[in-house]
Chain A
C-alpha cells in the first residue's frame, strides 16, 4: 500500500512540476517529448519485468505493455516527423526519467513474488498518474489536432492498461 501510494503521489507531483504548474502551458514539442518519455519509461519497466517476473500473468502483462507502448511511440515518432516537430526536452520529462530510474533500481532489489507485486502496483499507480496528466494537462494544452488525437487514443489505451494492471494486481492477492 505504501509503495503504491508513494509512487502515485510522486508521479503526480512530478507531472505537475513547477515548470508546467504555473499556468505555463507546455508547447507541442514539449508535450510530444513528455508523452514519448512516459512510453519509454513503461517499456523499460516491462523489459525489467520480463527478466525478473515469476508469475505468468505478470509476464504476459509486461509483454502487453512492451507491445502497446512500442506501437504508440512508433506512431508518435511518425507524427512528429510528419509535422516536422522536434520533441523538446523539459523539466517534466527530466523529472519523470529521474523518478523512473530510481524506481527501476528499487524494483531491481526485489525478487519473485515480491517483485511481481511491486511491479504491478507501480504499473497501476504509474498509469493512473500518466492518465491524469494526459486528461488534465497534456490533451487540453496540445494545439495540433493530430497530436491531440494521438494523445486521446493514448489515453484510452493507458486507461485500458490501468484496468488490466488492476485485474492482475487483484489476482496476485
Chain B
C-alpha cells in the first residue's frame, strides 16, 4: 500500500542489523551439563558477554586475572561488558573443571 514507507522501514531494519552489532554485540555462551560452549569466543571491547546457565546448579564465570566474577544461579543468566583487550581464561568457582577462554580484541 505504501511501498515507499515499507521499503524505507526495511532499509532501516537492514541498516540497524548491520550497524548495531558492529558497535556492540551481545555474545551468548551457554553452560549446560557442566560444559561451557563455545569454549573459545572472539569478541571486541564494548561487547557484552551473556552467559546462560541451563543447569539446575549454580555456576560462576570467573576470570583468572580477576577482571570479572559473574554469578550465575541455576537456570539464570548474567552479563558482563568487556572493557579490556586480551586473552582471558575463566572458570566456574564451584566446578573449576569448567573452563573457557575469551579472545578480546581492541
User: Are A and B a genuine interacting pair, yes or no?
Assistant: yes
Give chain A's interface residues, CB within 8 Å of chain B: 64, 67-68, 71-72, 74-75, 153, 156-157, 159-161, 163-164, 167
Q: Is B81 an interface residue (CB 8 A)?
A: no
A100 to B58, CA, bound (A): 26
Q: Are A75 and B56 in contact (CB under 8 A)?
A: yes
Q: Are B33 and A160 in contact (CB under 8 A)?
A: no
Q: Are A164 and B34 in contact (CB under 8 A)?
A: no
A67 to B57, CA, bound (A): 8
The 4 lowest CB-CB distance pairs between A and B, nearest first, are A160-B95, A156-B34, A163-B96, A160-B97
- A64-B94, A71-B74, A167-B96 in contact; A160/B34 too (CB < 8 A)? yes
A-B contact pairs, 25 of them (CB 8 A): A64-B58, A67-B57, A67-B58, A68-B58, A68-B94, A71-B56, A74-B56, A153-B33, A156-B33, A156-B35, A157-B34, A157-B57, A157-B95, A159-B95, A159-B97, A160-B94, A160-B97, A160-B98, A161-B95, A163-B96, A163-B97, A164-B93, A164-B94, A164-B96, A167-B96
Give chain B's interface residues, CB within 8 Å of chain A: 33-35, 56-58, 74, 92-98
Q: Most chain-A Cβ atoms within 10 A of its Cβ — which of B33, B35, B94, B96? A: B94
Question: Interface of chain B, helix or strand or loop or mixed?
Answer: loop
Residues of B within 8 A of A153 (CB): 33-34
Residues of A within 8 A of B35 (CB): 156
Q: Most chain-A Cβ atoms within 10 A of its Cβ — which of B33, B34, B93, B98? A: B34
Residues of A within 8 A of B96 (CB): 160, 163-164, 167
Q: Are B95 and A156 in contact (CB under 8 A)?
A: yes
Residues of A within 8 A of B56 (CB): 71, 74-75
Nearest chain B residue, comparing its CB with the CB of A74 = B56
A14 to B34, CA, bound (A): 28
Q: Are A71 and B57 in contact (CB under 8 A)?
A: yes
Q: Are A68 and B33 in contact (CB under 8 A)?
A: no
A72 to B58, CA, bound (A): 12
Known contacts A71-B57, A167-B96; 20 further A-B pairs (Cβ under 8 A): A64-B94, A68-B57, A68-B94, A71-B74, A75-B56, A156-B95, A157-B34, A159-B95, A159-B97, A160-B34, A160-B94, A160-B97, A160-B98, A161-B95, A163-B95, A163-B96, A163-B97, A164-B93, A164-B94, A164-B95
